[in-house]
A = this chain, B = another copy of it.
Amino acid sequence: MLIALDWGTTSLRAYLLDNRGNVVEKRAVPLGILKVPGGDFEAAFEQACGDWFAAHGPMNTLACGMIGSRQGWREAQYVNCPAAMSDLALKLTRLQTKRGASFAIVPGLTCVNTLGVADVLRGEETQILGALPQDSASTQIFVLPGTHSKWVMTEAASVTSFATFMTGEVFALLREHSILGKTMEGDAHDAQAFDQGCDYAREEARNGAGLLHALFSARTLRLTERIAARSAYAYLSGLMIGAEMIEALRYFAAPRSITLVGEPLLVARYEQAARRCGVDAAIAHAETTVRGLWRIARAAQRASPSPLAGEGVSDGTS
């Protein structure tokens, strides 16, 4: 059996997998790396998964996400792009836990853009690997919306490059702390207002302006009462996701289609914005992270029969 952990900034999702990779049990606990009391990751891990060890004995654990960042349990390296996804399994960072069994962390990815500046991701590499068709040969663009959206270009089973867009974080700041948030009511979706925001971002870009100017329309459309307070959230959301879509589509030389990976509600918004921008958007199946973790664990086992090889390796002391 294997414990697969999607351990991010705000939450820890734990999966217990059987020897064929099926999810036997799963749970989410609010023990993201910034919420672990005193940074005691061992205790948090025990709290989340201790009963699985008690019930099933020593098992290997594979984790991805911010648990491998400088603020996490142990800093895991970044692998340079272009990176064959099969290489991830060869570059795991291992640490010892009281449970005795192996605990490994998946590396992140880094790529240096044409301006010589590095970009980084951590966690998304595992989602991509989980979302990649087994026989993928062509070039694809995966889009993983979130606090920091990642646009990832793959060729066959390698990540060739990627780029981060801070859309989610900027949107949350504007909503919570800016003058734009002050005249919003609620956070309901409103497809028409969302489209209107998206269209405005596109038209501004055509006009030569960009986000810093487009944002102010969320203020003046409220002032002139052309957007209702209850639609202002959706308008700003459409405007910002639309702005990201325009930036990213230009950056990746106007792909005709993208594949969206992530939380269904957010993916639905990106799908709507993509359609509005004339781009086909496919949606990856759910549970890409756990599928990616399983693939990496299997590849690690093939590459080296220990220590991610299965139950027999650990001596079971705790």
Contacts and interface: CB of A to CB of B under 8 A. Distances in A.
Interface in A114-138: 114-115, 117-120
A178 B167 CA distance: 12
Contact of A207 (B119, B220, B251): B251
A270 interface: no
A52 interface: no
B251 A212 contact: no
Interface stretch (A36-44, A240-248, A299-307): A240-248
A28 interface: no
A179 B169 contact: yes
Interface stretch (A93-101, A158-166, A281-289): A158-166
Given A166-B216, A216-B148, A244-B212, A117 B221 contact: yes
B169 A247 contact: no
B247 A210 contact: yes
A115 B203 contact: yes
The SS class assigned to the A binding surface is helix
Interface residues of A, number: 47
Contacts of A216: 119, 148, 164-166
Interface in A162-185: 163-167, 169-170, 173-174, 176-179
A263 interface: no
A215 interface: yes
Interface string A188-213: 00000000000010011001111111
Nearest to A151: B213
Nearest to A218: B166
B243 A210 contact: yes
A141 to B, nearest CB: 14
A223 interface: yes
B213 A163 contact: yes
A120 B224 CA distance: 10
Contacts of A173: 170, 173-174, 177-178
Nearest to A150: B216
Nearest to A217: B117
7 contacts: A163-B209, A169-B179, A170-B173, A177-B177, A207-B251, A208-B247, A212-B243
Interface of A: 113-115, 117-120, 148, 163-167, 169-170, 173-174, 176-179, 200, 203-204, 207-213, 215-217, 220-221, 223-224, 240, 243-244, 246-248, 250-251, 253
Given A210-B210, A210-B246, 4 more contacts: A114-B207, A163-B213, A212-B247, A213-B251
9 smallest CB-CB distances across A and B, nearest first, come from A208-B250, A164-B216, A165-B212, A210-B247, A173-B173, A209-B251, A166-B215, A118-B220, A117-B217
